[in-house]
Structure 1
Amino acid sequence: MQAAHAVDGPRSPVSGPRSLLHLYYGGTFDPIHLGHLSIACAARDELGAVVHLVPAADPPHRPAPGATATQRARMLELALADHSGLVLDGRELRRATQSGAPSYTVDSLRELRAELGPTTPVAWLLGADAFVGLSGWHQWEALFELAHFVIAARPGTPLDLTAAPQLAAAVQDRWAASASEMVASPAGRLWRLHQPLRGESASAVRSRIATDGAWQALVSPAVAAFIAQEGLYGSVRPAS
């Protein structure tokens, strides 16, 4: 598919010492769009690691999503079908179904630590806009003991911590000089992606759909078809 190649691009095989890194990309993915895929593919290529995309159930840091958890997971499945090295991880959805509790990143990372052990390198991938608000997350200071952070800055969302002095102080000595530092220790380092990223946002996609703007090119064809089929975000269902 042409859209897949636009964000996929050339890459090295997922092998070598850096593939020891377990990399997770959390988010609402409401909907999954080409900007999300650009970030995931950039992290996969730069770090030589499989990227596990973890959709949030009831995100505690954002308003309720516009699509159900089941619909968002299905859109992820459709979007990832054409991308090697990107896989769906439904742990937050399963946990919410079992407990009915809010979906917190710290809980997912503790679960991963229990599965992978205390010495396995684990990293959490997120956008710069989300990282700037990290000090508002549940038990945020504990996150650095559980994982590294890989930060992706989209066009228009620079990594500026001047408005987050508490976070700036907490991370000032955590920046890794090379990606290999994230394999040498289990958690606590920061890495910024160097590859150029796309500028799409989920809110912009939803807004275009709701206002009958041009939106189909911002998501994969399979996701666009699903959105129309389900009538999501104010889209018009096709005539039966």
Structure 2
Amino acid sequence: MIGIFGGTFDPIHYGHLRSALEVKEIFNLTEVRLIPSAQPPHRQQPVATASMRLQMLELAISNQPSFVADDRELKREGRSYMVDTLQSLREDFPVQSLLLFMGSDAFNKLTSWHRWQDLFTYAHVVVLTRPGFITLALDAFFTARLSTEKQALADHDAGRLFFQPVTQLDISATAIRQLVAAGKNPGFLLPDTVITAIKQNQLYQEN
């Protein structure tokens, strides 16, 4: 099974990385592909350039051989729609189970995504929640796809909805950028290699 994490990663931080590591172990994933978004359709455009965000991601995961920095959205023109990314991944991995991970906030807005129902054609959707999270009432589309057993994700290559509690660190890329802009130390929120790259390239400085 292959895990998929999308995001702007502007910059990548321990909140992203801890969740990725936990789900790799929980689901016994062969690899986790972290995919920086080029032009995210549902949020502000990234501050750092695509190449810098990819570089920071590569630095952050350099000691995790099962983590892959996947640049397919950065190479693709136009808006970064996840359904297009999953279709591309399915072409690369025709028989593997693909697990698309997202937070509960993203899941609550999923029906506003481009061709959101088609996501389940190409992958399972795994919603990362805080421990003790209570699933709200789901409509018929989601209820029909809901699984409570991890084995169902391995037995099918796509099409299931699963809720998985993980440790959620209260770290945000926005807060990190604000710390850097204010001349404060963002240490212990993201890898030192990424902090060094931010300093060397003078990222997130006040104009």
Q: Does 1:48 align with 2:48?
A: no
Taking the aligned partners of 1:131 and 1:177, their CA distance within structure 2 comes to 17
| Match 2:188 to one of 201, 217, 220 | 217
The answer for unaligned runs of 5 or more in structure 1 is 1-20
Aligned 8 A contact 1:161 1:168 in 2: no
SS at match of 1:62: coil
* Residue 154 of structure 1, CA deviation: 5.2
Q: Does 1:135 align with 2:111?
A: yes
Aligned 8 A contact 2:73 2:80 in 1: yes
Residue 88 of structure 2 aligns with which residue? 111
Aligned 8 A contact 1:40 1:51 in 2: yes
* Residue 159 of structure 1, CA deviation: 6.8
Residue 126 of structure 1 aligns with which residue? 102
Any residues of structure 2 matched to 1:47-196 within 5 Å, and which? 47-49=27-29, 50-95=31-76, 100-117=77-94, 119-153=95-129, 168-196=139-167
Aligned 8 A contact 1:145 1:188 in 2: yes
Taking the aligned partners of 1:57 and 1:161, their CA distance within structure 2 comes to 32
Taking the aligned partners of 2:102 and 2:164, their CA distance within structure 1 comes to 10
Provide Cα deviations, 1:50-109, integer angstroms capped at 9, x if missing partner. Answer: 1111111111111110100000000000000122321111111122xxxx2111100011
Taking the aligned partners of 1:129 and 1:210, their CA distance within structure 2 comes to 27
Q: Give the number of equivalent residue pairs.
A: 205
* Residue 32 of structure 1, CA deviation: 0.1
- Name whichever of 57-66 and 167-176 sits farther off: 167-176
Q: TM-score, normalised by structure 1?
A: 0.78
AA at the equivalent of 2:105? D
AA at the equivalent of 1:82? N
AA at the equivalent of 1:212? G
**Change over 3 Å in CA distance of 1:129–1:159 after alignment to 2:** farther
Taking the aligned partners of 2:192 and 2:185, their CA distance within structure 1 comes to 13
Aligned 8 A contact 1:150 1:191 in 2: yes
Q: TM-score, normalised by structure 2?
A: 0.90
Taking the aligned partners of 2:187 and 2:166, their CA distance within structure 1 comes to 24
* Residue 196 of structure 1, CA deviation: 2.1
Taking the aligned partners of 1:168 and 1:76, their CA distance within structure 2 comes to 36
Aligned 8 A contact 1:46 1:193 in 2: no
Root-mean-square deviation (CA, aligned residues, Å) is 2.1
Taking the aligned partners of 2:185 and 2:105, their CA distance within structure 1 comes to 25
Q: Percent identity?
A: 38
AA at the equivalent of 1:22? I
Aligned 8 A contact 2:98 2:157 in 1: yes
**Change over 3 Å in CA distance of 1:129–1:199 after alignment to 2:** same
Taking the aligned partners of 1:131 and 1:211, their CA distance within structure 2 comes to 33
Aligned 8 A contact 1:33 1:202 in 2: yes
**Change over 3 Å in CA distance of 1:160–1:179 after alignment to 2:** closer
Indicate the structure with greater helix content. Answer: 1
Taking the aligned partners of 1:101 and 1:161, their CA distance within structure 2 comes to 34
SS at match of 1:219: coil
